[in-house]
Amino acid sequence: MKSNYKRLGDYIEPVKVRNSELKAKELLGININKHFMPSVANIVGTDLSNYKLVQKNQFACNRMHVGRDYRIPVAVSESEEPFMVSPAYDVFEIKESKELLPEYLMMWFERAEFDRNSWFYTDADVRGGLAWQAFEDMQLPIPHIDKQREIVKEYNTIQNRIALNQQLIQKLEETAQAIYREWFVEFEFPDENGKPYKSNGGEMFWNEELRKEIPKGWLMGILENISNQLMGFAFKGEQYVNDSGVSVLRGENVSEKFLRWDNHKKWNDEITPRMEKCYLQENDIVIGMDGSKVGKNWAVVSKYDLPLLLAQRVSCLRGKKKAYQNFIFYSMCVLDFENYVSQVQTGTSIPHISGLQIFNFPVLIAIDSVIEKFDNAVSIITKHKSNIIQENQKLTELKELLLSKLATIN
């Protein structure tokens, strides 16, 4: 072990403060990206005084499922207000902040190598727990505090730019969805004179199924009417590689409106004729078909993600006409595809959705000329969004490079 590597347990200590006075009202968990998030646990009728408190600059982690998840959920609080976490979580803090910065330690926890090392030390339990002693015995380089501040500053510059870009992406999304609502919910799309259709006397007719008036020529349909569906290939997991070949889009890579590549696999074997049909295209809509977040996990493929092969249990929607693609995506956003899936999904311990259920998502289908105008209106937005996504991908690569170099710091 390098001389500047130190035992983690020599720098941290457990914190076992309970919410005995019920000062904290917010219960948080830790997501896969190692950030605190609102907990989905049902706490109605639960004694909250037994839950653990987390203060600013304190850490919380869940060591119970490291072997199963290949990651250790750990996060540091940046909140000025205390909050609760599960009694099963460990809460700890740094003994002396003049020797080790919380931000620097969190950077070390975010490294993929840290997760791999944690997995190596898990026990034989089916879930693969990580003992507290093993956690404390893990080692990391701890440079001088001034060097830590320098590293954290560089890292935060990248992180802040990524966060700003994410805000811009969200604003662009909101703008495009607002246009969709105006055109396809309020029916105020531009008429042949460029004026809002409904409020300027556009012809409407009664739709019995919707129990309301809709523009002339429009009809109630389902996604199958306007899209084709591509199902992925059953790749053999043991033949995946990490370093070369064509990236494979698996269910694990489809998150909530974005694709994540921190755990992606590649295929570096023969591409069969059946696999050839699984190559994805720019603007394809991919939908994860299994898991606790089924209905939430769907996103659009960027040209910067290609080439990309589609794996089994991920569905791909591709418009029957090119102009349909943005219309399909924003229909799913505004008409609440997530809620629809929650009503039709099957499975108990692991929810599922079928290709047929995806196809049966109801959507009000406008005439082609309006859909084409909508596509023209939002394409500028989606292209700008795609460019920002690419920038964030590059920034994320830079961030990962910085994290990887922590192991070599003196």
Per-residue pLDDT in tens (0 to 9) along the chain, 410 residues: 466 789 999 999 999 999 988 888 899 999 878 999 998 777 777 888 999 999 999 999 998 877 566 788 999 999 999 999 999 999 999 999 899 999 999 999 999 889 888 888 776 554 567 889 999 999 999 999 999 999 999 999 999 999 999 999 999 999 999 999 999 999 999 999 999 999 999 999 999 999 999 999 999 999 999 999 999 999 987 788 877 889 999 998 998 888 888 777 899 888 999 999 999 999 999 999 998 889 999 999 998 899 999 999 999 999 999 999 999 999 999 999 999 999 999 988 889 999 999 999 999 999 999 999 999 999 999 999 989 988 998 999 899 999 999 988 87
Judge whether 241 and 268 are in contact, CB under 8 Å: yes
Q: Which helix (H) or strand (E) holds 109?
A: helix 102-109
pLDDT in the model for residue 84: 94
Q: Answer yes or no: same fold for 145-201+367-410 and 219-365.
A: no
Alpha carbon distance 350, 385 (integer Å): 33
Round to the nearest angstrom and report the end-to-end CA distance of the chain: 13
Distance CA 119, CA 72 (A): 8
The Cα–Cα gap between 197 and 175 comes to 20
| Beta pairing, strands 308-310 & 246-249 | parallel
Homologous superfamily (CATH) for 5-142: DNA methylase specificity domains (3.90.220.20)
Instruction: Find the farthest-apart pair of alpha carbons in the chain and give their distance in angstroms, rounded.
Output: 79
Nearest to 197 by CA among 207, 185, 186, 189: 189
Q: What's residue 241's pLDDT? A: 84
**Domain 145-201+367-410 grouped into CATH 1.10.287:** yes
Tokens of 246: 């064509």
Structure confidence at residue 1 (pLDDT)? 47
Q: How is residue 195 annotated by DSSP?
A: S
CATH of the structural domain 219-365, one choice from 3.30.110.70, 3.20.20.120, 3.90.220.20, 3.40.50.150: 3.90.220.20
pLDDT of residue 69: 64
Distance CA 121, CA 257 (A): 34
CA 181 to chain centre: 25
d(CA 273, CA 264): 23
- Rounded Cα distance, 191 and 198, in Å: 9
| Pairing assessment for the beta strands 139-141 and 5-7 based on DSSP bridges | antiparallel
Domain boundaries, the chain: 5-142, 145-201+367-410, 219-365
Amino acid (one-letter) located at 125: D
Classify 193 as helix, strand or coil: coil
- CB atoms under 10 Å from CB of 58, counted, come to 21
- Could you tell me if residue 34 is left (phi over 0), alpha (psi between -120 and 50 degrees) or otherwise beta? left
Strand, helix or coil at 256? strand
Using CA atoms, how far apart are residues 406 and 104, in angstroms rounded to an integer?
10
Say if residue 190 is preceded by a cis peptide, omega within 30 of 0. Answer: no
Dihedral, CA of residue 133, residue 137, residue 143 and residue 144, to nearest 10: 50
- At residue 294, the 3 state secondary structure works out as coil
